[in-house]
Amino acid sequence: MVVFLCGCNFKCCYCQNYKIWGAVLPINVDGLLREIQRNKDYISALVFSGGEPTLRPNLLQLLAEGAKKEGLLIGIETNGAFPEVLDALIDAQLLDGLFIDLKAPLSDPEKYARIIGIGQASAYVEKIKRSIGIGCAALAAHKILDFEVRTTLFKGLLSQNEITEMVNQFGVRYALQQGRAEMCFRRDLTTLTRDEIVELATQCRRPLRIRTREKGDEDIC
């Protein structure tokens, strides 16, 4: 079960959920917890996405605690901008899977800022590095079960050299995802084919996962 939380601190040019960037909607926590309980026999995990779910740390903890009581695993998809929230969830044993979206090389804050649609990204870059470090340490210490860094691709948005740098910087499991241009905030982006993504992954010269509409998840060696 995936729960999309409204609001985001980024305005990524390829966001598919841009309609909930600035939305502020009341959450019926009791109703959502009842829905989780009603479906617990048919699902294995509750995954928080957005928007940016770590903007709502108290709500995250409350829902994660409720889901844990039902025996479910907890995952979070995040831009990594709030490492302290991830730390708190891990310390409370309320996180099993961590999935961080890396938008551009962390060595290039200006490029990062352009993609995430804000004026300056240097402070965020340092926080994202910390979040990735938290994920690496937690996985190594068996505090979480799954950790992935992922990047969504569109034609011409990132060069091969930039993708290779991102994939090889941290030595973690990495996924290259096929962006869907027809769903994006910015309308001038172009979707890459599966074969084009395979070529980009192969040039990185390390095991990778790719994720496309054509064939789903595939491991590229």
Tens digits of residue pLDDT in 45-98: 999 999 999 999 999 999 999 999 999 999 999 999 999 999 999 999 999 999
Q: Give, in order, the Cα–Cα distances in Å from 119 to each of 107, 109, 115, 122, 185.
A: 16, 10, 10, 10, 18
- Say whether pLDDT at 210 is over 80: yes
pTM of the model: 0.95
pLDDT given for residue 41 in this prediction: 94
Q: Pick 2-220's CATH classification: 3.40.50.2300, 3.20.20.70, 3.30.565.10, 3.40.50.620.
A: 3.20.20.70
The secondary structure of 14-51 as a DSSP string is: T-S-GGGSS------HHHHHHHHHHHTTT-SEEEEEES
Query: Is residue 5 within 8 Å of residue 59, measured between CB atoms?
Result: yes
Q: What are phi and psi of 168, to 5 degrees?
A: -100, 0
Which pair of structure tokens corresponds to residue 148?
């992935």
Tens digits of residue pLDDT in 15-29: 999 888 887 767 788
Collapsing DSSP to helix, strand or coil, 93 comes out as coil
116-136: average pLDDT: 96
Which pair of structure tokens corresponds to residue 188?
């001038």
